[in-house]
């Protein structure tokens, strides 16, 4: 059952081939069996899941069910879930029980989905390997000695191993797309403002965006449809009608103009990954798409720009965790100043502390103009590069990551090397455009992903292009050994 698509699961539920309770019990069984070797979940919500499944079965019996009624999912542990621990994989929030649901959680609950648990992640979404979690690293089901990518490593590992058909995720600089590429999944980051950030614990507010990871573009489209829409509680939410992503999946891509950014195919891309990308391009050509080289001249500046802007916003957002109102509170502090220092020193991990310090530095007097203000100017130049590119092409295609999944500890002592893992994904967040990753083959037995980037609110075109590619290939249908 874990190899069925969301549409197939929905058809099975509506056709009374199995109940939502049976389906939920099946996935809870797989979690009990495989989770110890993966560490992909922080919390399993079996009782809640079974109650939701029973409610879904009642809706199905009444004939009022929707396409997602009774379908299980996993929520990334960055989304607030009422009555359930929401930790952001940090000691700081280990005991935090959210008093309300994030908008994404509300929407998917309203769609009738069943929450199996909360996914592990890099602490406060800061990381590219899921090695910074206070609860320990997540293992890649394709090779348990390798990372699944980050920060949404728990979400992708769980879906890749068949512990759930779909999971929510977030993307600040590639945290949906990079781990999706390393685990043979489809992951989409929609346009900034398309999905509400209300109830999503903030890392970098102008970059964070919720999305989804699934086995196929069709599955991703179905769930993204339910997640998207205007939310007056989120000041960055865009009041614009949501396209019918699912209906657009049947369109031909003949005549589709795809740009190949030359800066993304320069030195640094592994030869084996380049070969898989080139093979994928040939498939798109056979489907009727045309290709042309484009230039995004400021994209090489995306990593240094990101690592000024994101830490600056993080230092501001995480200042609320001070040991006074909520979060970890030191038991050894004797003065207010000690309470601040010890609570934050004990509650935050090394990577989070590093980014807070960087952010505080670039925002400090005498350095704001030299670093933060300059970074915002370069960010505008990166946006202008994309704007010009989309005047002549419909989509952009590039690698998602420089190489396949690396082994644990490879970049542990070199933060800059770790940051460069997101070199192909960060620019889309800085510009706010939609982007997604889909599997395009394997190199030495490990998945390779390609990235599609679209113009603002053009998720339909992007998802359809990915769907048509997946109809012509079967890479996305392959499962890791031991989790079949």
- Kindly provide the residue ranges of all beta strands, DSSP E only, lying in 127-284, ordered along the sequence: 166-171, 186-189, 209-214, 257-261
The closest alpha carbon to 238, from 230, 246, 227, belongs to: 230
Catalytic annotation on 151?
A: yes
Residue 128 a catalytic site member: no
d(CA 479, CA 216) in angstroms, rounded, equals: 13
| Residue 273 among the catalytic residues | no
CA dihedral 150, 156, 158, 162 (to 10 degrees): -160
Q: Could you tell me how far CA 458 lies from the centroid of its own chain? A: 18
Asked if residue 225 lies in contact with residue 242, where contact means CB atoms within 8 angstroms, the answer is yes
Here the tokens at position 462 are 């992007």
CA distance 121 to 293: 36
Which one is catalytic: 152, 175, 302, 398?
Answer: 175
Q: Count of CB atoms within 10 A of residue 48's CB?
A: 17
Token reading at 110? 């309203």
Q: What is the DSSP letter of 47?
A: H
Residue found by looking up tokens 């993966």 in the block: 38
List phi, psi (to 5°) of 398: -155, 175
Q: Is 240 within 8 Å of 457 (Cβ atoms)?
A: yes
Token duo for residue 313:
């916003």
Strands 446-454 and 395-399: antiparallel
Separation CA 264–CA 330 (nearest Å)? 46
Q: Do residues 245 and 463 lie in contact, with contact meaning Cβ atoms separated by under 8 Å?
A: yes
Cα gap 220→99, rounded to integer Å: 28
Residue among 76, 107, 139, 189 flagged as catalytic: 76
Query: The tokens of 46 are what?
Result: 């079996």
Residues taking part in catalysis: 76, 151, 175
């Amino acid at each position: 059952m874990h190899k069925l698509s969301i549409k197939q699961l929905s058809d099975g539920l509506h056709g009374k081939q199995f109940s939502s309770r049976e389906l939920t019990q099946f996935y809870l069984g797989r979690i009990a069996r495989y989770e110890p070797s993966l560490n992909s979940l922080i919390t399993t919500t079996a009782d809640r899941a079974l109650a939701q499944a029973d409610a879904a079965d009642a809706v199905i019996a009444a004939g009022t069910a929707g396409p997602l009624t009774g379908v299980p999912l996993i929520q990334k542990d960055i989304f607030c879930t009422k009555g359930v621990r929401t930790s952001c994989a940090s000691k700081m929030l280990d005991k935090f029980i959210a008093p309300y649901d994030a908008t994404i959680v509300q929407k998917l609950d309203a769609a009738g989905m069943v929450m199996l648990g909360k996914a592990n992640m890099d602490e406060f979404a800061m990381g590219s390997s899921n090695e910074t979690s206070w609860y320990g690293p997540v293992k890649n089901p394709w090779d348990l000695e390798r990372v699944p990518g980050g920060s949404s490593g728990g979400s992708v590992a769980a879906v890749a191993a068949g512990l759930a058909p779909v999971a929510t995720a977030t993307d600040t600089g590639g945290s949906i797309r990079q781990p999706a590429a390393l685990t043979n999944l489809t992951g989409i980051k929609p346009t900034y403002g398309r999905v509400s950030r209300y109830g999503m614990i903030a890392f970098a507010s102008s970059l964070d965006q919720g999305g989804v990871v699934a086995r196929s573009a069709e599955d991703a489209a179905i769930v993204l449809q339910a997640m998207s829409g205007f939310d007056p509680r989120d000041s960055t939410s865009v009041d614009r009608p949501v396209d019918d992503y699912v209906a657009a999946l049947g369109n031909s891509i003949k005549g589709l103009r795809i740009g190949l950014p030359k800066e993304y195919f320069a030195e640094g891309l592994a030869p084996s990954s380049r070969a898989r990308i080139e093979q994928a391009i040939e498939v798109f050509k056979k489907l009727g798409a045309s290709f042309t080289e484009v230039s995004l001249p400021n994209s090489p500046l995306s990593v240094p720009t990101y690592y000024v802007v994101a830490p600056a916003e993080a230092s501001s957002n995480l200042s609320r965790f001070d040991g006074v109102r909520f979060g970890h509170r030191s038991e050894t502090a004797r003065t207010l100043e000690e309470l601040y220092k010890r609570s934050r020193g004990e509650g935050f991990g090394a990577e989070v502390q590093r980014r807070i310090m960087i952010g505080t530095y670039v925002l400090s007097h005498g350095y704001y103009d030299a670093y933060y203000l300059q970074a915002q100017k370069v960010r505008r130049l990166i946006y202008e590069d994309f704007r010009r590119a989309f005047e002549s092409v419909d989509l952009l295609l590039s690698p998602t990551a420089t190489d396949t999944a690396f082994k644990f500890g490879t970049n542990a002592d070199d933060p800059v090397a770790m940051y460069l893992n997101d070199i192909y994904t960060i620019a889309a967040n800085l510009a706010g455009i939609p982007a997604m990753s889909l599997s395009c083959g394997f190199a030495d037995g490990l998945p390779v992903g390609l990235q599609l980037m679209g113009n603002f609110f053009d998720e339909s075109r992007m998802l359809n292009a990915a769907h048509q590619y997946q109809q012509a290939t079967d890479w996305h249908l392959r499962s890791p050994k031991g989790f079949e």
